[in-house]
Amino acid sequence: MLGDPSVSHSTNMMMGMPTFTREEIKHLGDLARIALTDDEADRLKGELNVIAESIAKVQEVAGDDVPPTANPIPLEAYLRPDEAEQPLTQEEALSGAPATESGMFVAPRILGEE
Amino acid sequence: MSVRNELVKESATEMARQLRAKEVSSRELVQAQLDLIEAAEPRIDAFLRVSGDQALDQADAFDKRLAAGDTDGLPELAGVPIAIKDMIVTKGIPTTAASKILEGWVPPYDATVIEKIKAAGMPILGKTNLDEFAQGSSTEHSAYKPTHNPWDTDRVPGGSGGGSASAVAAFEAPLALGTDTGGSIRQPGALTGTVGVKPTYGGVSRFGAIAMASSLDQIGPVSRSVLDAALLQELIGGYDHRDSTSIPKPVPPLASAAREGMRRDLKGLKVGLVKELGGEGYQPGVEARFNEGVKLLEGMGAEVVEVSCPHFPYALAAYYIIMPSEVSSNLARYDGMRYGLRVMPQAGVEQTAANMMSATREAGFGDEVKRRIILGIYALSAGYYDAWYGSAQKVRTLIIRDFEQAFEQADVLVSPTSPTTAFRFGDKMDDPLAMYLNDVATIPANMAGTPAMSIPAGLSDDGLPVGFQFFAPQMRDEVMYKPAAALEAALQEQWGGPVFKDLKAPWLDGHVSGTTK
């Protein structure tokens, strides 16, 4: 859905400036694992369209000749000394869990019906 | 004015001197702060949790150590109490990031900065309020309560670190730690008259700082004096192998730079006025105090030049792409599986892990956090990544180049910290963009990894504090401490004391009605 321009991205597509629809917001909510209500999706649609319009200006100056920066202070990657450290105990690691059993996290079932 | 009130109004450096001279014990100091917290909190609400018993135990341990003469290796601020933003994990003290999704979570480990605070015998008074997951500029986005500005309790203290800033401004704590991703230490500093520092990215370990936007986040000090901030940054800074972005170098000499600055001789220093950080959108009262500050720097021998950073006007836009992108990734960990809130789906909905996550995150996150996660997911999605995230990363390069060119013309750069003084509750809650504009002058430093700090420049015509911001080159934090301490000393001579001498703080005298809460 999201990558399909026929949903709503028409004239602004060329500029990379999105116009969010409620369905897209709901889809983004699914991707983000947030069960947005219809009211929330409508409010977010309005807010995000305003925000998106204002931040699209980054494309004005982002020329092909400009390299991207991910970390402002690049450091050489290095290996730490291979020394044993005391990690959290099992009890500590489980101390904040919503549900545990026999020293393990208890999760709802991962798979659906299929 | 009681002895207690005299004590809590002292700088941290003076408290430390009194501790060493055995004029006061750490227990007495902590008790004085706890009493004041109790008196002030009905008006201020700076704390999410006060850890009084632990703080008194830590004070007793320090007093014992001092009595035994066991002071080798203790830093200057040893024994002085401190408040901690609830974005930094503390073993055994609940840590929430002001979010419902972490309500009641008790961390099983300490952040590196907390280990250092504890090793220094500094009692932890409690955890301070913030915008949820440090996302906001007013502390109104806390899931628990708003924090009030001590200068006018009908106004916000700024954010996200409004709790730490208000606690220090209201004399509830002499020191605090904050985190600064786009200005969350400096903008509340400006709005509350406190000193707030964002160190060079990588200068202070982020291990145990709850991650918001990892390429921008940095822990730093909050205080009532430049020297206090310098001593605290020296104490918490330095290399940490548990943070892969930690700079493998010693902390620069900050306190000696601040002490040198207090002599108020700035001959040979070139100060660059950033042309793009002023003018439209900046209140006249903010610009007036800022310009007076610049004149004072000149009066102490500094040479002032104007510098241009032509890409700074794009920093806010790039920030609101990079930051939400990192937020959407970092906050994916709150999935109801291993810690924090778990909400099962409604009856009739499949009771699967995926549905549990969606129900948990819908219930556990507030509006602003959801807004940023959704925006970030979009900016990173296939087909839009290059236009959004890729472009923003290029802007980041351009901002770094702007700084590099500016620092060829000047040793230190200056600007107002925030375009406005403290605003009223609710003023900007319905307009996210207006809220985001608060950080227009602070964001460039996060984007470039450069250090920056805010100090009080006096009160605007509305009687509210104005912040004066200094920027220094990467890994040269000491360069900003010298002129900051010089300006602080010159201003305090004009005012006849610290900016706080004009703060009406009825909680100091026990006149607390609590009616404004």
Interface check for B370 against chain A (CB to CB < 8 A): the answer is yes
CB-based contact, B92 to chain A, within 8 Å? no
- What does DSSP assign to residue A80? P
Report yes or no on B323 lying in a domain.
no
Domain that holds residue B439: 11-312+397-504
Please give the single-letter amino acid code of residue B307.
Answer: V
Residue of A nearest to B433 (CA): A51
Structural domain contains residue A53: yes
- What CATH number does the domain containing B196 carry? 3.90.1300.10
**Active-site residues of B: which are they?**
85, 160, 184
B511 falls within a domain: no
Contact B200 A113 (CB under 8 A): no
Q: Looking at chain A, list the stretches that DSSP marks H as alpha helix, in order from N- to C-terminal side.
A: 22-31, 38-55, 58-61, 90-94
Q: How many domains does chain B have?
A: 1
Query: In this structure, what token pair is assigned to residue B100?
Result: 């419902």
CB B474 within 8 Å of CB B199: no
* Residues in chain B, total: 517
- Is there a contact between B295 and B433 (Cβ–Cβ < 8 Å)? no
The answer to whether residue A90 sits within a structural domain is no
Q: Which CATH number belongs to the domain containing residue A18 in this structure?
A: 1.10.20
Given a cut of 70, whether residue A37 has pLDDT beyond it is: yes
Decide if A68 and B350 are in contact by the 8 Å CB cutoff.
no
Q: Which of A24, A40, A55 should one mutate to test binding to chain B, selecting the residue with the greatest count of B CBs within 10 A? A: A55
What count of CB pairs under 8 Å joins A to B?
A: 194
Q: Do B374 and A34 touch (CB under 8 A)?
A: yes
With contacts defined as CB-CB under 8 Å, which chain B residues touch A3? 381-383
Question: pLDDT over 70 for what percent of chain B?
Answer: 98
Q: What value does the mean pLDDT of chain A take?
A: 83
In this prediction, residues A51-57 reach a mean pLDDT of 88
pLDDT digits (tens, 9 = 90+) for B156-213: 999 999 999 999 999 999 999 999 999 999 999 999 999 999 999 999 999 999 999 9
Chain A residues with beta carbon closer than 8 angstroms to that of B450: 72
Q: In the β-sheet with B47-50, what is the strand arrangement from edge to edge?
A: B47-50, B124-128, B82-85, B175-179, B219-223, B195-198, B452-459, B465-471, B412-416, B270-274, B303-307
Collect all residues of chain A within an 8 Å Cβ-Cβ radius of residue B351. 108-109
**Least CB–CB distance from B245: residue in A67, A71, A110:** A71
pLDDT computed for residue A18 by the predictor: 67
For residue A31, pLDDT beyond 90:
yes
Q: Is residue A38 part of a domain?
A: yes
Please determine, for residue A12, whether its predicted confidence score (pLDDT) is greater than 60: no
Whether B337 is covered by a domain: the verdict is no
Q: Do B314 and A58 form a contact (C-beta atoms < 8 A)?
A: yes
Q: Using the beta-carbon criterion (under 8 Å), do A50 and B378 form an inter-chain contact?
A: no
Position A45 in a domain: yes
Give residue A13's pLDDT band: very low, low, confident or very high (50, 70, 90).
very low
Mean pLDDT of all residues in A7-16: 40
Q: ipTM value of the model?
A: 0.90
Structural domain span for residue A16: 11-58
pTM for this entry: 0.95
Is B78 part of a structural domain of the chain?
yes
For residue B30, the number of C-alpha atoms closer than 13 Å in the C-beta half-sphere is: 29
CA of A11 vs chain B CAs: smallest distance (Å): 15
List alpha helices for B154-199, DSSP H: 162-169, 186-192
Closest residue, chain B, to A55 (C-alpha)? B317
Write the Ramachandran bin of B423: left for phi over 0, alpha for psi from -120 to 50, otherwise beta. Answer: beta
In sequence order, the β-bridge partners of residue B93 are B90
In a domain, A54, yes or no: yes
Is A87 part of any domain?
no
User: In this model, does residue B323 exceed pLDDT 80?
Assistant: yes
Chain B nearest CA to A30, separation (Å): 8
Mean pLDDT of B470-480: 98
Give the model confidence (pLDDT) of B458-469 as tens digits. 999 999 999 999
Cα of B244 to nearest chain A Cα, Å: 8
B480: pLDDT strictly greater than 90:
yes
Put simply, the chain A residues between 49 and 88 with a CB less than 8 A from any chain B CB are 50-52, 54-63, 66-73, 75, 80, 88
Q: Average pLDDT in the B260-269 region?
A: 98
Residue B322 and residue A24: Cα distance in Å, rounded? 21
Reading the block at residue B240, the tokens are 């940490």
pLDDT tens digits, one per residue of B341-359 = 999 999 999 999 999 999 9
The answer to whether residue A78 is domain-embedded is no
B361 contact partners, CB below 8 Å, separation of at least 6? A32, A33, A34, A35, B101, B334, B335, B336
- Judged by CB atoms closer than 8 Å, whether chains meet at A112 and B352 is answered as yes
pLDDT tens per residue across span B107-150: 999 999 999 999 999 999 999 999 999 999 999 999 999 999 99
Q: Does A18 map to a domain?
A: yes
Residue A10, chain B, CB below 8 Å: the answer is no
Number of domains in chain A: 1
Residue A52 pLDDT grade (very low, low, confident, very high; cuts 50, 70, 90): confident
Cβ contact (<8 Å) for A50 and B351? no
Q: Which of residues 423-482 of B touch A (CB under 8 A)?
A: 432-433, 447-450, 474-475
